[in-house]
Amino acid sequence: MGLFKMLKEDVNVVFDQDPAARTYLEVILTYSGLHAIWGHRVAHACFKRKFFFLARIISQISRFFTGIEIHPGAKIGKRFFIDHGMGVVIGETCEIGDNVTIFQGVTLGGTGKEKGKRHPTLLDNSLVATGAKVLGSITIGENSKVGAGSVVLHDVPNNSTVVGIPGRVVIQDGKKVRKKDLDHHKLPDPVYDRLNHLEKEITHLRKELEEAKGVNQNEY
């Protein structure tokens, strides 16, 4: 793919994903996520040619201006979208597929000082919501979502939704997750569901206890 075609795709995905985007001039001049991606594409090109120091300088300059830290070694596919982006961290051995979306405060990091592949892989059409942490050499499957604030430490199957700390798969129905569905704040909460279930059980037990007390009092 030619350089200008790739840059144009990077701009067009902003219009596809962000309803606040109005004009090309506004997007090109003011979107920090787009600037971070472009800075990374330059840094990564230098990294592949073993200009490691120059690559790091470019990535740090980009980090200073955008608040988004992407290691120049990370591999990022086409139509990658970072919404807002402040506080995003993407590690060296991350691999990100096509049509992936991440939100502000997301960390794609490692779990220690291990060598080799130590950062996540995000397959095509995946989405990682605000503040989520995806840690270690794990894979987020195609068309899958990671809910806001989740901490994911294990592989996520395709077409799944993960929420919670630690992250748990709560939806896996084989249906494709719509890429443009950005209502990531409406994902299920398994902890709340469990607490709600326990509360109903306690209410039921209290009712049975009161009925048993009433029977005993009538006997006397």
Residues 125 and 170 in one domain: yes
**Using one digit for the tens of pLDDT, what is the confidence trace for 73-88?**
999 999 999 988 889 9
% of the chain residues with pLDDT over 70: 87
pLDDT of the residue at 217: 62
**Average pLDDT of every residue of the chain:** 85
Residues 7 and 40 in one domain: yes
Residues 45 and 98 in one domain: yes
Residues 21 and 50 in one domain: yes
Residues 174 and 211 in one domain: no
Residues 52 and 157 in one domain: yes
Residues 106 and 196 in one domain: no
Residues 80 and 132 in one domain: yes
CATH number at residue 101: 2.160.10.10
pLDDT of the residue at 169: 83
Paired tokens of 64: 């200073």
pLDDT band at 19 (very low <50, low <70, confident <90, very high): confident
pTM: 0.74
pLDDT band at 176 (very low <50, low <70, confident <90, very high): very low
Query: Do 161 and 147 meet the contact criterion of CB atoms below 8 Å apart?
Result: yes
Residues 217 and 161 in one domain: no
Q: How far apart are CA 68 and CA 51, in angstroms?
A: 21
Residues 88 and 160 in one domain: yes
The half-sphere exposure of 209 on its side-chain side, counting CA atoms within 13 A, is 6
Residues 208 and 157 in one domain: no
* Counted domains in the chain: 2
pLDDT of 10 higher than 60: yes
Q: How far apart are CA 26 and CA 129, in angstroms?
A: 24
Q: How far apart are CA 31 and CA 15, in angstroms?
A: 11
Paired tokens of 127: 């989405």
Average the pLDDT over 44-51 and give the result. 93
Question: What is the domain extent for residue 206?
Answer: 189-220
Residues near 196 by beta carbon (within 8 Å), at least 6 away in sequence: none
**Using one digit for the tens of pLDDT, what is the confidence trace for 115-135?**
788 999 999 999 999 999 999
Q: Which of helix, strand or coil describes residue 70?
A: strand
pLDDT band at 139 (very low <50, low <70, confident <90, very high): very high
Residues 183 and 193 in one domain: no
Residues near 36 by beta carbon (within 8 Å), at least 6 away in sequence: 62, 63, 66, 68, 70, 82, 85, 88
